[in-house]
Chains A and B, each alone.
Chain A
Amino acid sequence: MIRPRMRWCAADWVEAQGALIVRAHGLHKHFGALHVLKGVDLEVAERELVFIIGPSGSGKSTLLRCLNRLETPESGSVAIDGIDLLDRRTDLNHARQRIGMVFQSFNLYPHMTALANVTLALRLVAGKSRAEADAAGRAALARVGLADRAEHRPGQLSGGQQQRVAIARAIALEPRVMLFDEPTSALDPELVGSVLAVMRSLRESGMTMVVVSHEMGFARAAADRVVFMDHGVIVEQGRPAEIFETPSHPRTQAFISQIRQH
């Protein structure tokens, strides 16, 4: 049993800033015989940017996917912006508008233009008219620097541009929190910067963000807190400088020195 060390956690941030947006407690999740989450707690305060790092198979993506219930934990509780996601009476589709998600493989709809990708949920879920949705969609595309690509299909865009369209698709719904699942892992190195720049500007606009990624440079510059996961538990968390420079747990030390070599 590993006791998580909490040198700096959401509670400190709440004192400094405001309310908790993400409250996940005691999450357990199995995939068949595999115990992927073994009692994970994660709290994220408003305007906080939390980085989750850890080796593959550590449960970090599963944890993220529990936060919008793409995965359903077997036990524990998940509340986003005060909405209990595990309550059967919760309108999940309504709640998900407040939780943006960006995937490693973009998952843009290939048969639609960039604008249609962004406006689909605005029309079907947020109930906007076509004109309202188009206006909001173009504004979102402008925020990610792709106003001139509205009529392009995903196949006509670079990977970095596709990922920015995916971000626009999520932020157009004006979510309370954004979840990023390895947003730059599928990108060629020269395209990573454009996506990180968009994430940085989101951060500066005050968006609450939970990011699963190994972009250490970005984490150092922008993250408020880094969470290190291994084997389905949170081993250690703290400010980026603490985790990257003076990790206290041997497993964290091993992992940090490993990713540093890349």
Chain B
Amino acid sequence: MIETFFNAAIMVQAWPIILAGLGNTVLLSLLVVPLGLGGGLGLALLSTMRSPWVRWPLMAWVDFFRAFPPLVLLIFLYAGLPFAGLELGGFACVGIAFFLNTGSYYGEVFRAGIESVPAGQIEAARSTGLSRLQALVWVVLPQAVRAVLPDLLSNTLEVVKLTSLASVVALPELLFQARQAQSLTYNPTPIVAAAVVYFLMLWPLVRLLSRLENRAIAGRR
């Protein structure tokens, strides 16, 4: 049993491969989390506009990409679009898929935050001559982000875990590398190692999230 799942010799052999995968997972996260945050912020700001010409397409967009499984989206971009003569490469496909999918999720989180800020805040800002955008950026957003910080963090956790999807388009991130090592060594130990690495990477974030949530609960009392 220990020989199969926790084989030390294989661990030593696979370690450099896993480490390279970890590096790529971190890089990938550093790409897709800001992309999703930026996209989500843009969507949330657009959603504050009252015009139906903005509201309806926006709602359709967000609904569509939240209902579209990200794995299907990714495979479509990677394996489907070439049939239309559009070859994007694994990295670009992951970037676009995450922008569309996680951006919509982040967008809903930001929107909830913005709506939690009392209307009087915007009125006060506008009454002193701030433009709508200035009022949103300086007065509303800082309060909105604070209100939804636990949700933003929990969404970010999901996004980092989702980067393992990139393995299906042969991007050498943590899971992909672990599977490579597994097939090279005929042993599942690298997969276990990858799981441990994921855990060690995300556990501090999970702890931080719990603390934020507890603080939010305490604040509500």
Q: Report which A residues bind B (CB closer than 8 A).
A: 68, 70, 93-97, 99-101, 103, 105, 107-111, 120-121, 124-126, 166, 169-170, 173
Contact residue among B124, B130, B139, B146 (Cβ-Cβ distance under 8 Å from A125): B130
By beta carbon, the residue of chain B nearest A69 is: B126
Chain B contacts for A108, CB-based, 8 A: 124
Chain B contacts for A107, CB-based, 8 A: 118, 120-121, 123-124
Nearest CB of B to A124, in Å: 5
Which of B123, B128, B134: most chain A Cβ within 10 A? B128
Q: Within 8 Å of chain A (Cβ to Cβ): is B51?
A: no
Chain A contacts for B127, CB-based, 8 A: 68, 70, 96, 99-101, 170
Contact residue among A97, A105, A110, A111 (Cβ-Cβ distance under 8 Å from B128): A97
Chain B contacts for A124, CB-based, 8 A: 130, 134, 138
Q: Within 8 Å of chain A (Cβ to Cβ): is B129?
A: yes
Known: A101-B127, A125-B129, A173-B129. 11 other contacts (CB 8 A): A103-B120, A103-B123, A107-B120, A109-B124, A109-B125, A111-B143, A120-B130, A121-B125, A121-B130, A125-B128, A125-B134
Number of interface residues of B (CB under 8 A): 18
Chain B contacts for A101, CB-based, 8 A: 124, 127
Question: Cα distance A70–B45 when bound, in Å?
Answer: 20
Question: Cα distance A135–B176 when bound, in Å?
Answer: 59
Using known A-B contacts A96-B129, A121-B128, determine if residue A70 contacts B138 with beta carbons closer than 8 Å: no
Using known A-B contacts A105-B120, A107-B123, determine if residue A120 contacts B128 with beta carbons closer than 8 Å: yes
Tell me the dominant secondary structure on chain B's binding face: helix
By beta carbon, the residue of chain B nearest A109 is: B139
Using known A-B contacts A111-B146, A124-B138, determine if residue A169 contacts B120 with beta carbons closer than 8 Å: no
Using known A-B contacts A124-B134, A124-B138, determine if residue A96 contacts B128 with beta carbons closer than 8 Å: yes
Question: Cα distance A113–B125 when bound, in Å?
Answer: 15
Question: Cα distance A57–B8 when bound, in Å?
Answer: 78
By beta carbon, the residue of chain B nearest A94 is: B129
Q: Within 8 Å of chain A (Cβ to Cβ): is B131?
A: yes
Using known A-B contacts A107-B120, A109-B121, determine if residue A93 contacts B142 with beta carbons closer than 8 Å: no
Using known A-B contacts A107-B123, A124-B134, determine if residue A93 contacts B143 with beta carbons closer than 8 Å: no
Q: Report which B residues bind A (CB closer than 8 A).
A: 118, 120-121, 123-131, 134, 138-139, 142-143, 146
30 CB < 8 A contacts A-B: A68-B127, A70-B123, A70-B126, A93-B129, A95-B129, A96-B128, A100-B127, A101-B127, A105-B118, A107-B118, A107-B120, A107-B123, A107-B124, A109-B121, A109-B124, A109-B143, A111-B142, A111-B143, A120-B130, A120-B138, A121-B125, A121-B129, A121-B130, A124-B130, A124-B134, A124-B138, A125-B129, A125-B130, A166-B124, A169-B124
Chain B contacts for A166, CB-based, 8 A: 124
Chain B contacts for A126, CB-based, 8 A: 129
By beta carbon, the residue of chain A nearest B132 is: A93
- A170 close to B128 (CB less than 8 A): yes
Question: Cα distance A96–B124 when bound, in Å?
Answer: 11
By beta carbon, the residue of chain B nearest A95 is: B129
Chain A contacts for B143, CB-based, 8 A: 109-111
Nearest CB of B to A167, in Å: 12
By beta carbon, the residue of chain B nearest A104 is: B120
Question: Cα distance A83–B204 when bound, in Å?
Answer: 57
By beta carbon, the residue of chain B nearest A99 is: B127
Question: Cα distance A110–B140 when bound, in Å?
Answer: 10
Nearest CB of B to A179, in Å: 8
